[in-house]
Structure 1
Amino acid sequence: MGAGGRLDPTKVKISPMDKTENCALAREMRKQLRRIRASLKFPVVHSIEIPIKARPHQAITATDTSPAGRPKAVNGAISYMPNIFGLMMSGYIIQTLIK
């Protein structure tokens, strides 16, 4: 699920969709899946780490009182987290196929 704002690779887990926690993306997907009465019993990669908060938008210079650009900060994903999510899922798939 969402890797944004997470830094700790040891908190990445594979669980059924209905057992995910601390993930706004998973919460929204569960809501949509329940709306169409779909099963939530499929594996997903998610992090149990609570995401870090976005830093407030700040002016670039000291004389600039109203910062230009995006008014809302967005949590990006640190470079290694999407890779870890992908490797975890590929490992799970390979292990499932071998069984």
Structure 2
Amino acid sequence: FAAEFIVRAGVGNVTIADGDTVDISNINRQLPALWSTVGEDKVEVMAKRLLDINPQLNLSRINEFLLPERMDELLQENHFDYVIDCIDSVSPKLALIRAARFNKVKIVSCMGAGGKMDPSKVMVRDISKTNNCNLAKYIRKRLRRENINKGVRCVFSVEPQHENSLKMTDGTQFKKSFYGTISYIPALFGLYAASEVIRNLIRAE
């Protein structure tokens, strides 16, 4: 959602990264997920959509799961103006935030959308001011160990997570569990993240 909002706003240089394929379980909440796209690479589905919005878009695709050890290299090679972090696994998410801070790249990080239902509770704040989000709490704790106490803008919800939506996984892709997610909350997180980027890019000009 964030990528589409940014492209529709007129940003002409965009990089998208994801190593996943569309799964039936994504259909309830992810923009590229349709019955017709199940099994396809998410990056390629989104690339086709974004280029249909703006055929002149300078679009780069990274069709891989971003491993923690890749983050510094990725940011140093590409010289991004802004990074939107939509990773839902702790280790690569932490690595991307650390790399952005080290390389002085602006970042907005999306925290836990799962287990949330109330759209009025979504907001953007510094990570030091997040609350009622288990993912943000853990990320905040880990960043403190590296003397990163603030300076990371986060999209999160102050609504307490519904614990009955917690599901366990097989532990692949750095993820041991996840919260079930309603259709409209990820879209709202993407909207807030895109707004943060667009307004900051405009102010920088």
TM range (shorter): 0.7 to 0.9
- Runs of 5+ unmatched residues, structure 1: 56-69
Q: What TM-score do the two structures reach when normalised by structure 1?
A: 0.75
> Percent of aligned positions with the same letter in both sequences?
41
- Offset at residue 39 of structure 1 (A): 4.1
- 1:54·1:74 contact (CA, 8 Å) conserved in 2? no
Instruction: Extract structure 1 runs of 4+ deviating beyond 3 A.
Output: none
Secondary structure, aligned partner of 2:179: coil
In 1, Cα distance between equivalents of 2:159 and 2:150: 21
- Offset at residue 47 of structure 1 (A): 0.4
Q: Kindly indicate which of the two structures has a greater share of residues assigned to helix.
A: 2
Q: Match for residue 92 of structure 1?
A: 196
- Runs of 5+ unmatched residues, structure 2: 1-110, 170-176
Q: Which has the higher contact order (CA 8 A, sep 6+)?
A: 1
Q: Match for residue 128 of structure 2?
A: 18
Q: For residues 16-55 of structure 1, what are the structure 2 equivalents within 5 Å?
A: 16-54=126-164
- Offset at residue 74 of structure 1 (A): 5.4
| Counterpart selection for 1:2 from 83, 108, 112 | 112
Q: Let me know the Cα RMSD of the aligned residues.
A: 2.1
In 1, Cα distance between equivalents of 2:114 and 2:152: 22
Tell me the number of residue pairs that the alignment of Structure 1 and Structure 2 aligns: 84
Secondary structure, aligned partner of 1:54: helix
- After the TM superposition, which of the residue ranges 77-86 and 13-22 deviates more from structure 2? 77-86
